[in-house]
Amino acid sequence: MYDLIIIGGGPAGLTAGIYAQRARLKTLLLEKEVIGGQIAVSDVIENYPGFPSISGAELMEKFEQQARGLGLEIKLTDVIAVQKKGEEKIVKTSDGDLIAKSVIVATGAKPRRLDIPGEKELTGKGVSYCATCDGPFFKGQKVIVVGGGDTAVKEAVYLSKIANKVYIAHRRDQLRAEKIIQEKAMSTPNIEILWSHILKEIRGKTGVEKVVLQNLKDNTVKELDVEGVFVFVGINPTTDFVDVEKDKQGFIKTDQDMRTSEKGIFAAGDCRTTSLKQVSTAVGDGAIAAFVAEKYIEEMA
């Protein structure tokens, strides 16, 4: 039996693992895909204290090295469900059941889709949800970024260094991104912002050829020739496998100590209801969750 099982290997999960190892808890971290989480594919991070500019991959590699250096056990597997058996927690995985005294859910969230004609068919053929992953394929071409938040505008600036032309389609008449990121985008010559526009359709045979846009102010529709579509319109939490109280979007509700509605189950990072989803906040969540989990385990003895 483990003292603690951490589900998710992003910033929150790895931080929780570091704190748990330092507390000498018998800990296992489970990750379904890539250690480091989604931030690992971010091109540049400029707002993590101590690192004025660093790639997501580099930063997460440092997290992982520190966690493993302390002896954290990490296993790649898919978590199917978390169940209770008395005070014990049964974590059901694709490789069998695991038992722990406590669980920290740090599974983050995944990109939201537009659910428009052509999106599914052309995903991987010009439609992308990761500029760092797929941006280099569009050197000298025209692309469109959908969204107006930090991620969308930041990735548009990144793409402007690769693509010949970058459009930003945003449904509102002002961006939601940090002001400093907005300033970068607006001062970049090959970025054009299409205010109050939404994508209605993505067209192409073997790859993206054009998009259909609707102007929400006058309801006019127009076509725009592009070779790439990058979608950044929000995220959906990865929380289906655990039965705790959640908000209407599926994010896990916690108190200030990362406790969920079930004793012994904690949540940290982007999978929980929080006003800011950043590496720095995920790190804080992970540290608190591990600390409070340690106290919970001590009280069980």
Q: Could you tell me which of 13, 8, 20 has the C-alpha nearest to residue 290? A: 20
Whole-number Å distance between alpha carbons of 212 and 216: 13
- Contact between 250 and 239 under an 8 Å Cβ cutoff? The reply is yes
Pairing outcome for strands 235-237 and 109-111: antiparallel
Whole-number Å distance between alpha carbons of 72 and 29: 7
Task: Exactly one of 95, 133, 173, 257 is catalytic; name it.
Answer: 133
130 is catalytic: yes
Whole-number Å distance between alpha carbons of 137 and 131: 10
271 is catalytic: no
Question: Which helix H or strand E contains 19, and what residues bound it?
Answer: helix 11-22
Q: Measure the N-to-C terminal CA separation of the chain; round to a whole number of Å.
A: 14
Residue 13, both tokens: 């999960």
115 is catalytic: no
Task: Exactly one of 3, 43, 134, 150 is catalytic; name it.
Answer: 134
Which sequence positions are flagged as catalytic? 130, 133-134
